[in-house]
């Protein structure tokens, strides 16, 4: 397999067999815990305005997301995985927008298959891709670390690469260290910024053996993250 790592939320990767969009702090950690809580599906919106338009058309959906890291007034939910994990979400449909992960996902829809993940589901996602394309020398796997300067997303991408290429030279502990010490993590530990929940870092740096991956279905009215059970 040919693995290529990109960094940034405005990257359009070359056409590939699989694109994996990574947002550790916090978009796809939020998505992962929403699915663990029983969410049916997650529709993606490329802006808060688009999210509100979707809500106007489909009042049953719940809006979740952030703008520059902060809660969006008028949204049903914020973007805290610690808070999402406590919500009664079984059977619900979420609409998600975010500064980095969701934005990058919209630019990554060109591949045959598109997956999203944080660190919490990185190993499962990497092993899924390894099984699916193992032995296919010409397969191209693109990984997009969605934060333009985020050490957390890049460390997660390198970790997944080491699993997919069979080396497994990067240990989870080293990725966890990169996440909690990342520049984007500092605000979660700053008492002067109460909008950022320090408990989120634990969710973002904790691998969860869940038995599913998060895949984008691009065929509907909106790109939709769905839960696909392990084969």
- What would the DSSP string read from start to end of 112-170? SEEEEE-GGGHHHHHHHHHHHHTT-TT-EEEEEE-STT-HHHHHHHHHHHHHHTT---S
Structure tokens at 5: 């790592």
CB distance 77 to 64 below 8 Å: yes
DSSP classification of residue 67: B
Q: Which residue has the tokens 């990109």?
A: 6
Q: The domain that contains 130 carries what CATH number?
A: 3.90.1560.10
The per-residue pLDDT for 9 is 97
Query: What is the torsion angle, in degrees rounded to the nearest 10, for the CA atoms of residue 106, residue 112, residue 114 and residue 115?
Result: 180
Where do the H-state alpha helices sit in the chain?
Answer: 27-36, 48-57, 81-84, 101-106, 122-133, 151-164, 172-180, 199-204
Query: CA-CA distance, 33 to 39, in Å (whole number)?
Result: 9
- For 7, phi and psi rounded to 5 degrees? -135, 130
What range does the domain containing 144 cover?
Answer: 2-222+224-228
Q: What is the pTM of this model?
A: 0.97
Phi, psi of 44 (to 5 degrees): -100, 135
SS3 189: helix
pLDDT for 60:
98
* Helix-then-strand count for the chain, H and E: 8, 9
Among 109, 108, 112, CA closest to 18: 112
**Domains identified in the chain, total number:** 1
| pLDDT at res. 135 | 84
Output phi, psi for 42, to 5 deg. -130, 115
What pLDDT does 230 receive? 82
pLDDT of residue 176: 98
pLDDT under 50: residue ranges of the chain: none
């Amino acid at each position: 397999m040919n693995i290529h790592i990109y960094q940034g939320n405005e990257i359009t990767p070359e056409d590939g067999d699989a694109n994996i969009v990574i947002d550790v702090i916090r978009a796809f950690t939020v998505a992962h815990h929403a699915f663990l809580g029983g969410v049916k599906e997650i529709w993606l919106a490329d802006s808060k305005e688009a999210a509100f338009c979707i809500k106007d058309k489909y009042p049953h959906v719940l809006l979740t997301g952030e703008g520059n890291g902060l809660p969006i007034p008028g949204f049903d939910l914020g973007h805290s995985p610690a808070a999402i994990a406590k919500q009664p979400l079984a059977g619900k449909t979420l609409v998600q927008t975010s500064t980095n992960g969701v934005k990058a996902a919209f630019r990554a829809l060109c591949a045959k298959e598109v997956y999203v993940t944080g660190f919490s589901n990185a190993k499962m996602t990497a092993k899924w891709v390894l099984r699916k394309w193992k032995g296919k020398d010409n397969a191209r796997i693109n990984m997009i670390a969605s934060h333009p300067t985020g050490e957390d997303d890049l460390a997660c991408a390198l970790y997944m690469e080491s699993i997919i290429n069979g080396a497994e030279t990067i240990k989870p502990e080293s990725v966890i260290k990169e996440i909690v010490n990342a520049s984007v993590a500092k605000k979660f530990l700053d008492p002067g910024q109460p909008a950022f929940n320090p408990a989120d870092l634990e969710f973002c740096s904790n691998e969860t053996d869940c038995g599913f991956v998060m895949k984008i279905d691009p065929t509907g009215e909106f790109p939709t993250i769905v839960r696909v059970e392990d084969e």
